[in-house]
Structure formats: structure tokens, C-alpha cells
Structure 1
């Protein structure tokens, strides 16, 4: 049997590449459909009886005779527009931001266990909020805004310390991770001290913020988070090939192929810090999404960051939205914070991925 000609091998490789690209695009489309379905379910599920047929009867009156459903009352429309839709929107934006920042952190550190919070950003944000609760002295109507600004400031301060200290050692991935872990423990210790000296009125506010919650998010908050995402995500996407080379070949090979490794790591790290700060400042700590969403995406999509980034964002949105809906509905009338529920949902899934990968190697 004659060996295949170069043209035949090229045609076969091209066919496999096109099939793989089509499969990745199919996964992206399926993820978008799943996100839309989860958003519709989140809008409908709850104490108020907001079924899809009633939504259609309200917004498309000509369909009422066919559907046979009663349109929403004015009160129910207010529940949908002022409570449930903002909650869905903030879950989608926050999940997308945490998902893609987790992917970038794993790429620039070369560590599959890295996440936006590996660098201590979460505990820094919690410390900023705790400082305002304990020592702020702000009027009630300014308390929330002051907590957001303080959390954002402390998050950026933590990022500046991590990258500043790491740059003294050449800004390598190991130095980034180790410096972040050290600062993470430091901020955690200071935050625990703040909780220890807080009184009975201050302590619940501090603890509730550290759990992570989507309650009370306004359209203004969502617009600010979406603006950060819209600015930072193109920065990530423009360096997808650089992340591919750094992840697959290491720093030296990536540099030999024309990637300015140190500059890329610094620029992407600053983008991660800004986007993470914009999310945790409004939602509190939702720490597990940035770890598990990239792994889910990589398991289904592979390591090409051109597709991995958007799919990680979609996986993060779905994970946060589903976790928030479960926490809101499963224990009604009590609402569990999304930061707690997302661990219940994400940990079994993450363990399954680890075991499946091990079984595949075996």
C-alpha cells in the first residue's frame, strides 16, 4: 500500500481541522441556548407565578387566544423587571467575567489550579468592605457605595502588590502564584481580625458580604460591570495566540516564537485585576467560578483560547445563574447566597472532571 501523498495528508488535516472548528462552534451555540433557557427559568421560578406562557401573553397580546394564559398583573411585571431580570443580568455578567478571568490566570501562571482569587483579590475586597463597615461612619444611603469603592480599591491595591513584588523576581508564573498565596493569607488574617472586633450589628454585614450575593443589584451596577467586561474582554481575545503559545510551549518557546512574555503577562494580569475587582465589588466573593468554569470549558473545547475564552465566559454565566436560582428556589422563602450554592454545584462537577481525566489516562 503506497504512503499518502503530501497533498492527501494536507487535505486530511484540513478536513479534521474544519470538523474540529465546526464542533467547537456547535458547543458555543449550545451553550448560548442553555444560558437562554437558564435565564428564562430563573425569571419564571419563584413565589410569583410567572410562567413562559403568561410572559408571552403579556408581551405579545395577539397570542393570548392561542395560549389561553392570563397576562401578568402590574405587580408581577414589577417583580419581573425590578427584581428577577436584574438578578439574572448580574449573574450572567458576573459569571462571564469570573469565567474568562480564570482562564487567563491559568494561562499566564501555567497553573491549572489558578483562579482570579489565587492572587488574594477576594480577601482584599472583603477587607475593604469590612473596613467601611467598621470605621466608615457613612450615612445609610452612602454605605453600599462606600463598600463597593473600598472593595475595588483594596482589590487593585492587592493586584499592585502582587505584580510589584513579582516584578522584582522577573515576573515569573511561580512568583505570581506564591506572592498571591502569601497576600491571600495576610488579607484573610486581617479580615478575620476585623470580624473578631466587630460588634453584633457590624458582624452580620461583613459576613453576608463575604458569602457573595446577587441580591439588591441595580441596573447601574450591572452597567458598570458590563462596561468593564466590554473593555477587558477584547484585550484578552487579542492575546489568545500568545496564551496558546505560553500554555502549550512554556515561556522560553513562546519568547522564541515572538511573544513578549513579560509584557503579555503584565497586561493580562492588569486586565484580570480590573475585571475581577469590578465583579467582586458588587457581588462579594464568588470564588469557585473562576476555577471550575475554565476546566469545564477546556474539557469540552480544548486548549485554543480563541474558543476557550468565550466558552469559559458562557460556562461561568450558566454556573452562577443556575446556582443563584437553586439557592433562591430550593430553600424558599430563605435565599442562600450564591457564593455558597456555587460550591455545592461546582465541587461535584469539578471532581467528576478530575476523575474522568484520570480514567481517560488510565
Structure 2
């Protein structure tokens, strides 16, 4: 567990013994993300982004000192539940930010929201929380999972591809990925292949692809899974167009290198998105970490700004949950992505883009915007949510 108090970055267990008066003057934020295993880089990006937001805010949110407590969910739902209960019961956090993966989100959503603590997802966007099971204590600064995959499905349809091969991990986000791609793609799906989460060997899947000869491949393989898939794809000598989400992004590109060049992805953002706030953020992130930020970092940065806007909106009084919720829904901050607001279900209404892997002037790899595919797009599940704006 890592504590960042007031962003002097001094960790002290004595912080647990703060007096009641001091505790009331702080806003406690618990960050729960994956920080170990093949997908650790995703959680590290989110942690970096949230830390940068709080640093840029002067170590305060809404004028009150912020204390950030970071825990690793280990990409294990049972571990995540134990860790998040520690944040709620021992640390008594005011907000929980996280996680990266939807199976972890499914595990922690109930204990967090049942405690009437606000849960802000900087990445995972399960369809289960967007429709009938939407919750007044849940917000996402990312997207609903289907949407980023729907981008590639629409592009594949518009470009006239007739046959595609789909590949994703066997968990909720993987299933949302397939559903999202097929929402606009009307051609033939040759195979819808699911592999165990954290699979690193794709030889059998690549052999199938080579024999089936699809017009295009669509895959969702985040973290280390994406690194291995892309490298093995190139080693197999395949040249079939690859569309994806999170398979080639700034978290995986340093390890994928040249093998990822030219591959497509769908996203709500890219490092070269032309807004003044985004340019400043990307430059600062590269300077601090010698790496290009990914969506995980930018969405976590926005989560920090969202928390600041809410605390500011209630003038530091977090005791009235309805007032805090109203302040969160207002989203009174300037997002790095530009246009942004919340739907009734707590998911953003925003623009989505097709991106392509390219090289920056400094030699680093990044995803770059090819075209805008959806404008001011709300997810398709909001119609089933009983909450109102």
C-alpha cells in the first residue's frame, strides 16, 4: 500500500493515526489498479496520471489537502475485494478510483457503492453497470466498454470488409468487445475466439487466422497479452489488417516497437489530440516518465480533475452524498479530451476516433488520430438506466 500525503510523496504510517480534526481537513482517495503481473504497466499508467493531476492541483482538491492511498488488485477479484474493503473500513476513503479490468470492477462495485462511497472508474466500463444495474455512486471517466470496439466494427463495415476473425480474452470486457464490434459490422464473423485472461501464447490462434484468410482481424488484448500477440503476429509473417482496442497503445508500444506500426485502434483520445490542455499533459508526462501516456493515464488524470470539481462544488463538505453526486454529474472541469459530459448512467458522452500506430519526432511510438468516427456519443445501454440527470 502506498500513501501520498499532500504530494510531498513522504510515506508515513503515522498518517493512519491522524486526529479527527486533521482527517476532516483531508480528502482521502483510494486508487485500486493492477500493479503486478503482465498487465502492471496499465495500472502504472493510471497511477501516474492520477498523481500528475493531484500534483498539478497543488496537492489539493477543492482547496483541501488530498491523501492518495494506492493498492494493487493483482488482477484477482477476490484480492481486490479484500483490498477495497481495507480502503473503505480502515482508511475511510472519500472516493475510490479504479480499477483497470472489468472483472475486478464487477467484484468491487457492490462493496464500494453499498458503503455509499463514490467509485470512479478510470478505465473499466462494464455494460453491467451502464444499463439496469447503473448506480448513483458510480461514474466513469473512460467509456462504456462496447464503444471503443464499436469504432473498429463501423470502420470495417464502411471499408467493405466481408469476413473478419475476432479474438479477445474470456472475461466481461472481452465479451463487451465482441458485442461492440458486431454492433455495426454486418459481414461474416469467421470465428469468435476467446482465450484465458493473461494468455501469452497465440500460436494456435494465429495458425487458424492464416488458414481462414479473413479480410481483417479484430482483437482486444490489453497489456502483456497485446505485446505477445503483436510480436507473434509479425513473426508468423501475417499481413492481414489488424484493428483493435488496447492491443496497441502507449502502454504496450514501447515493448512492441516496429511490430505495431500501422496497426489500427479505436479510442476516445490519442496523444496527438489537438487541445491545449492535452498538449501540456502529454509533454509533462513524457518529461516526467520518459514515456508517452496511454488512455489509462489521461482518464485517471481526468478522474483527479473530476474529484477536484466535486469537492469544489460542495465547498469541501462531503457529508451530503446527494450534493456530492450532483457536483460529480456536473463535471465542472476541462477534460483533456475536449468535449465531455455525463449520461444519466454516469458514463461519458464524448467523441471517438480511429487511430493508427506511428512514430513521434523523438522516436517514441504513439497512436495517432486517423479520423473521428462518432461525435458526442452516449453508450447504447443508458436507455435501460433508471437514474435521471
- Give the TM-score category using the shorter length: under 0.3
TM-score (norm 1): 0.28
Larger RCO of the pair (alpha carbons < 8 Å, separation 6+): 1
TM score, norm. by length of structure 2? 0.27
Greater Rg by CA: 1
- Which has the larger share of helix? 1
